Every structure is written in C-alpha cells, then in structure tokens.
Structure 1
Amino acid sequence: MTDTAPEQIDGDVYVTPRYLAGSAWIGDPALQPLFELGWHRHHDEVGNLYVASPDRKVRLGFLPEGDDDGLWRITAYRDPFAAPAWGVCFNDMTPTELVTAFTTALAAAYTQGPDAYLDKEPRDRFDAVAPLIKGGWELQHPRWGVMELQSADGLAGLEYVTGRLDETKELTTLEARWYMWGGPKGPRWYATASTGTPVHLVTAITTALADPAPVPRWQSGILSSLRPHIQLTPIVPPPPPAPTPLDVHRRTTARPRPVLTTTSVPRWSTSTSPAPARR
C-alpha cells in the first residue's frame, strides 16, 4: 500500500496482482515526470499527444488514435535527425504503473545527461531480471536464443533474446530484445524494449512489475477477462480522527449564544394586572 491520502486515490478497489490490473485508462501519471521537466508537447488533429525533450533527443508518443495497439512509444537518439538509438513500447492494456515507473526513471536519467539515457556504459542484463527472481518468478525451460521467466501463476512473463536481431524491426514489431507480457490467454498487455535500451530503464519496469503492492482501479474499468484471476479489496477511507480537547473548545466558543430580549417571551409578575377581558 502507498501512503496516498484517500481523497487522492484514483479508484474504488485495490487489485492484486498488479500485473493483472490492466490499464488505469489515464495517461497523466506517466506523463507527469516529463511535464515536470518542461518538455515540449503538442496534440495532433485526432488527439494523439507528442512530447519531446528540449534537444529532441528523447521523444514520447501517447497514441490513443495510433495505427495499432502501441499506446506508448518512447525513443531516444544520439542525433535528433538519425535513427533511434533505442525504442520502448507499451500497449493499451499495460498497467499504467509500469509506464510511470519507466518515464520516472527516464526523466531522472535525462537530467543526468546522455550517458545515462543512451547506455554508453552498459550494465549486466541480470540487473533487470533480478527483481523478478527475488519476487518468486521462475526461469522456464531453455529455448534456443531466449531466456524466459514467468510469474508463479504463469500469467505474466519476460523474455530476453540473446541472439542477433533486426534493429529496425525491434522498433515496430514484437521481435525486440526485451518482451514482457501479462494476462490469461487472449488479448494481453505487452511491453517491448529494443537493443540499446539502458538496462537501468528496463529495471525500472521489472521492479514495478515484481512489486507485490496492490494498485487502485475503478471496478467498472477492469476487463472481464481479468476478473477471475485477480483479488479485489475495497478502498475504505479511514474514519475521521477523534476531536482533540482543543477542537472541542474551539467549536464551543465559536457557537453563537442565543440573544434574549424583553419581548421574546411574555412573562407575568405580581405587580401587573391581567388585561381586562373583551366583551
């Protein structure tokens, strides 16, 4: 659980496991880390959003009206006019928390300079799979040229291709160096990362993927195909704190006192005579 205040939680239930929560159907959390850096943004005529760093060396497309289900496409460049150095894609069913983890790490890397987001000092790929192994994910039977891990329930996985790949196809197809997925048979969420994607950025995704903490969702937005495989817990706001003695004192002293006038309540006294009866 997070320490987010109840009024800030965007949902009415918590979903476990998070890799089966599906999309939150809102892009703001994943876009915010880049907006906070003041990156340029514009919409096209059909509602797609394009975000770019000031030097145009990192670009993001949020494409609800794109040509396929690749909702999020992020690319980085050594030269703004050259081919991308790497590309990452998340489809429209990907849990938003995974995208947010990536863009948060990307924003931090960009502030450190090109060496951080162009992987000039490559790290061991094991760094990216370590969070999954620690989270109980298991290595699958070896396949030629592919290392594969799956969650304990078999409903989420990661594949890493060890052989040669066509770098152009990596940017536009599922044939990428890193491939992550989640969901039962049928339409699933997926994320890809091409050769050259800094391992620490991939690690941001796998760390969020392995996180056991539930995530908030609106029940009405959860896909029916996921419901048999997830646990839902209502989000119940905590009761208001009990008033302190000072609170009680302030309320008492702030309460207006009634004002009595001599004519508000008629009174008889021994010195007054009743009014004569009318005939």
Structure 2
Amino acid sequence: MPSSAPQAAATVDGDVYVTPRYLAGSPGYGDAGFAPVKHWPHHHLDEGPHQLVVTSPDHRIRIGWAGDDYDLWTISAAPDAVSGPQWTAIVNQNTPPELVAALTTALARDWADGQDRFLAAPSAYWADSLAPLVAAGWQRTGAEVGTVELTAPGGNAGVYINRSRRDLPDGTELWAGPPGWGTRAEITFSPRTPSHLIAATAEAFTDTTPVAR
C-alpha cells in the first residue's frame, strides 16, 4: 500500500514492495523497460558496449542495453536508419526499469502513429517537459542563472535542466536517491529530446504504485 514516507516497504510472499518507485533501484534486468517494445527487432551482440539492441522496425529508434556497465541503457532516435542520433537518453544502472518503461511506451506509441513525433523539436518552455512533476507538488529549488531545478517532496528525487550554462553539461537530468555510484538513479536527456518524451518519463516519477523487488 502506498505510503507518504519517502520509502515504504513490506514483505509479502517473499517480495519487497517499494514506494515511491523511483527509489526501488534496479533488479538487475531490464524486462520492464523492454516490455513496451517486445515486438520490435532484437539484436544480440557479441562485441561492443551493448549486449542487446532493440530497434524500431525502420531502425530509427534504438534501445541499447549494457548489462555490465554503469550507463545501462542508451536510447536514441535518428531521422533515418544510418544517421547519427538526433537525441539521446542515458540511463544508469541504479534506475528502476519501470521508469524506463514510461519512455519506451511513449516511443512505441509515437512510432506506431507514423507522425514522427519522436523527432519533434522540444518546447522552448521548460515547464512543458516537467508539467507532471509540478502538478505532483515538486518545488522549484536552486538559484543558478541559466538552470532549472525541481525537487520532490521529501527531497529524495529531483530534476536539473541546464538551459544556458556553458560550463555545465547540457540537457535534462532526472535523479533519485542519495548521491553515490551505487545509490543514485539518473536519467539524462540530451538537449534536443522532445518535451513530451521527457514529460512521459517524469510522470513515472509521480506514480505511487509500489514495485516489487
């Protein structure tokens, strides 16, 4: 049952159920993240950083899984099968795959509707990407010029956008958990990522349904 505490867990039939789900960590496999695109072509690779790459049928959307790397997922979209990515999302090893599933669900829907929405130009307004978080009560924090920061109630998750600081990496980063290589979940979107895809991923951070671990 969901709790207002930062993290609640109860043992039921041998499983631990965690809420908020952004603190659940990774179970070590990506099934939930791949489920929305299970009908897409799968490419099992013997060499390179990714053990598995799932692509849209036209190969414009690519979802790479590196099972033994810190950057566990690399998700991107390109105008055609042989072009470099127009945008990229990097997801680290501590991130619950249920959050990744929100992004892959949106990508599968975009590809199926045939309108190339997964290549849309992002909105000039940061609030279009983070509307679900604002609606869920995440508060604006930070005061650095050229950046936007929001923090979840309880302070266990947040989002950081670099809009114009040249001394910092560009893009949008959703995070959860305490700082540290083995504890903090991070999803980082490059600057040209469509706003609705970031919003779909952000909405998963507001889902109070517990996840099993």
TM-score bracket for the superposition, by shorter chain length: 0.7 to 0.9
Distance 1:93 1:121, change over 3 A: closer
- How far 1:123 sits from its partner (Å)? 7.3
Shift of 1:48: 0.8
Query: TM-score under structure 2 normalisation?
Result: 0.84
Q: Quick one: which of 23, 35, 39 aligns to 2:41? A: 39
Q: Distance in 1 between matches of 2:145 and 2:29?
A: 38
Aligned-pair CA distance for 1:165: 6.3
Which structure is higher in strand share?
2
CA pair 94-121 structure 1, distance change in 2 beyond 3 A: closer
List gaps (5 residues or longer) in structure 2.
3-11
Cα pair 1:93 1:190 within 8 Å, conserved: yes
1:141 correspondence with 2:135? no
Tell me the distance in 1 between the aligned counterparts of 2:199 and 2:133. Answer: 10
Task: Measure the CA separation in 2 of the matches of 1:93 and 1:123.
Answer: 30
Q: CA deviation at 1:14?
A: 1.3
The secondary structure found in structure 2 opposite 1:210 is coil
Check the 8 A contact 1:59/1:76 in 2, yes or no.
Answer: yes
Give the residue type in structure 2 aligned to 1:158: V
Residue ranges of structure 1 left out of the alignment (5+ in a row) = 3-8, 167-173, 218-279
- Match status 1:16 vs 2:10: no
Q: 3-state DSSP class of the match of 2:197? A: helix
Change (3 A) 1:121 1:157: closer
Point out 4+ residue stretches in structure 1 off by more than 4 angstroms. 120-124
Residues 1:183 and 2:177 are matched in the alignment: yes
Please tell me the residue identity of whatever aligns with 1:43: L
Find the partner of 2:52 among 49, 53, 60. 49
What are the residue-to-residue correspondences of 1:84-163 with 2, within 5 Å? 84-120=85-121, 122=123, 124-163=125-164
8 A Cα contact 2:122 2:193, kept in partner: no
Once the 2 structures are TM-superposed, how far is the Cα of residue 160 of structure 1 from its aligned partner? 1.2
In the alignment, which of 175, 192, 196 is matched to residue 196 of structure 1? Answer: 192
Amino acid at match of 2:194: P
Query: What is the alpha-carbon distance in structure 2 between the residues aligned to residue 158 and residue 182 of structure 1?
Result: 9
TM-score, normalization by structure 1: 0.65
As a proportion of its length, which structure holds more helix?
1
Aligned residues: 201
Q: Which has the larger radius of gyration?
A: 1
Q: Does 1:63 align with 2:66?
A: yes
Instruction: Report the counterpart of residue 230 of structure 1 in structure 2.
Output: none
> Contact 1:109–1:117 (CA<8 Å) still a contact in 2?
yes
Distance 1:215 1:162, change over 3 A: same
